[in-house]
Amino acid sequence: MAKIVIVGGVAGGASTAARLRRRDELAEIILFERGEYISYANCGLPYYIGNVITDRDRLFVQTPEGFAARFKIDVRIRSEVTGIDRKAKRVTVIDLKSNKTYEESYDKLVLSPGAEPVKPPIPGIDLDGIFTVRNVPDTDRIKEYIKRNKVRRALIIGAGFIGLEMAENLHRRGILVTIVEMAEQVMTPLDFEMAAEVHQHLKAKNVEFYLKEAVTAFESRLGRLVARLSGGKELQVGLVILGVGVRPDSALAREAGLEIGGRGGIKVDEFLQTSDPDVYALGDAIEFPHPVLGKPMSVYLAGPANKQGRIVADNIVLGNKRRYRGSIATAIAKVFDLTVAATGLSEKALRAEGIPFVCSITHSASHAGYYPDAQPTSLKIVFSPEDGRLFGAQIVGYKGVDKRVDMIASVLKQGGTVYDLQEIEHAYAPPFSSAKDPVNIAGFVAENIIGGLVKIVHWHELNEEELSRSFILDVREVEEYKLGKIEGAENIPLNSLRDRLKELPRDRRIIVYCAVGLRAYLACRILSQNGFSEVYNLSGGYKTYEFVTEKQANEDIFQGDVIGKDNNIYQTAVEEA
């Protein structure tokens, strides 16, 4: 009878344990979990803080007792594995209830210890009221702190997925939210112009945020926390959430002499086996080659951790039969009314790797425009200029972003191309999509670019020199043009273009734009077929251009402490719950 010891009882650990039991009724399975809870919904924690999820019990997919009973697993909570003797095949465990230490032997060991939140060495970081959000006790502490201190203003450091989810949920509770982000944009998996759309949305929601700023120190002053920013400003807040990222919790593996990769994750092979054949590892703690890049990466997502659990269990029971193929980090988040998603590699990641790419931005409606409530969807794809192989995609929109990112992710994961995007067959009726889904459209546009039917230019190429050298042609209607335009652009609405070709220079580059790129594409085709050779369509059109040229950050909006005066936005008093 095999004896399997698992370290970590949440996403990866619990999935492994359950699958092991389904595969092997006789195995002895011991699951060690440092905390009090197993198999809980980390991903739901921000929504519990925001009182979207009101029943705390719903966070627990399984209780230790329920899990033990259903799967006949020896679940030991509040038990931390502190050492591994690989030679003797034993782990050292400290029972955190009694503080007693003991050893347990194993035939196979599974490590799923997760990731730990990064706590930067900022003076004052350990002050009361500064929290990270990793687990249920963190969440309980935050909720209790908000209630006890009647928190009215919160600071979130780091604008990643969790930071923004926390921003939304604290805002929902009537708390004024400020975000400080060191980068020039929120959400690093996005490229700047896609993040710029999120910035504009956060502004509309009256979230205060600072970009390219860091917190350099915390202080406690008159019962308030004071955060000093790199630019010299001081923010007085009631609560601080640190969301600056996580790193693989690989200390135990490192101390046991297991191979650790360059990114600090436990090194595993395609069977999720570590450098010791009797030890498997999975989840946030590992690093594994990225399917597109081929370079080791850590992916901090629940989907891969849960699916890896199944592979590890099968490989332990069957002998290494199932191969892990890696994750392209398909992720999604709700940011107030927006849905933001990404899969694969961004433009900036490819640029950093020196991989040649082309990108294209399209704006489509979430479903047929004639059916009520169609909403805009911005979609960026990045692909190879040679064969159209997809590298990555980013989507910012409202309805249907989830299914579109999943459609693209499944093509990308199979090594597919932009031509495959064209052929995706989707379910269509007006309330759900259009006969050509936004994903198909992205594929069509990419083919037009690769095939030379249209040349494109990007917003970041429109610098002063380019704008003065080129003829900028706006083919929108006059009314649209009057509402806002690219500096120096001439307006010839598309429908009159054929009659006004004489007004265009034949010796200059012509950059054409419209609202989103479609009319400009038609204009480019008219011009090219009338002998204009240097004609370029502005990818993403004026819409993307406007997102990036508007002010990005949203500083100082709470100056003078507007609490109680801004009834339109902050109507909700801090709830008692």
Site residues for ligand FAD, 139-168, by CB under 6 A, read 162
The yes or no reply on residue 33 touching ligand FAD (CB under 6 A) is yes
In the bound state with ligand FAD, the residue whose beta carbon lies nearer, of 92 and 491, is 92
> Which H or E run contains 161?
helix 161-172
Taking the complex as a whole, the smallest distance from the CB of residue 406 to ligand FAD amounts, in Å, to 13
- Other Cβ atoms closer than 10 A to 76: 21
Residue of the chain from 191, 197, 276, 284 that contacts ligand FAD (CB under 6 A): 284
By C-beta, is 333 or 365 nearer to ligand FAD? 333
DSSP state of 523: H
Give the contact letters, 102-141, x = binds to ligand FAD (CB under 6 A), - = no.
----------xxx------------------xx-------
**303 scored as a contact of ligand FAD (CB under 6 A):** yes
Residue from the set 5, 30, 46, 437 that interacts with ligand FAD by CB under 6 A: 46
Six-digit token string for 118:
């990064």
3-state secondary structure labels for all residues of 130-155: EEECCCHHHHHHHHHHHHHHCCCEEE
Binding track over 458-477 against ligand FAD, x by CB under 6 A = --------------------
Give the whole-angstrom CA distance, residue 129 versus residue 145.
Answer: 7
Does residue 570 sit in helix, strand or coil?
coil
**Listed residue (256, 295, 303) closest to 83, CA to CA:** 256
Structure-token pair, residue 162: 């969790």
Is 485 near ligand FAD (CB under 6 A)? Answer: no
Site for ligand FAD in 69-108 (CB under 6 A): 80-81
Q: Closer CB to ligand FAD, residue 330 or residue 448? A: 330
**Residue 441 touches ligand FAD, criterion: CB under 6 A:** no
Full 3-state SS string of 32-76 = EECCCCCCECHHHHHHHHCCCCCCHHHHECCCHHHHHHHHCCEEE
| Number of CB atoms found within 10 A of residue 44's CB | 17
CB neighbour class for 478 (10 Å; exposed up to 12, middle 13-18, buried from 19): exposed
Specify the residue, 298 or 434, whose C-beta has the smaller distance to ligand FAD. 298
Closest CB to ligand FAD: residue number: 283
Q: Which stretch binds ligand FAD (CB under 6 A): 30-38, 168-176, 413-421, 544-552?
A: 30-38
Tell me the H-state helices in 290-417: 302-318, 347-353, 401-413
Applying CB under 6 A, does 11 fall inside the site for ligand FAD? yes
Which listed range, 43-51, 202-210, 469-477, 483-491, lies at the site for ligand FAD (CB under 6 A)? 43-51
Q: Residues 6 or more apart from 534 whose CB is under 8 A from it? A: 508, 509, 510
Residues known to be catalytic: 43
How many residues make contact with ligand FAD (CB under 6 A)?
A: 32
Site string for ligand FAD, 250-269 (x = CB under 6 A): --x-----------------
Binding region for ligand FAD (CB under 6 A): 7-8, 10-13, 32-35, 42-43, 45-46, 80-81, 112-114, 133-134, 162, 249, 252, 283-285, 300-303, 305
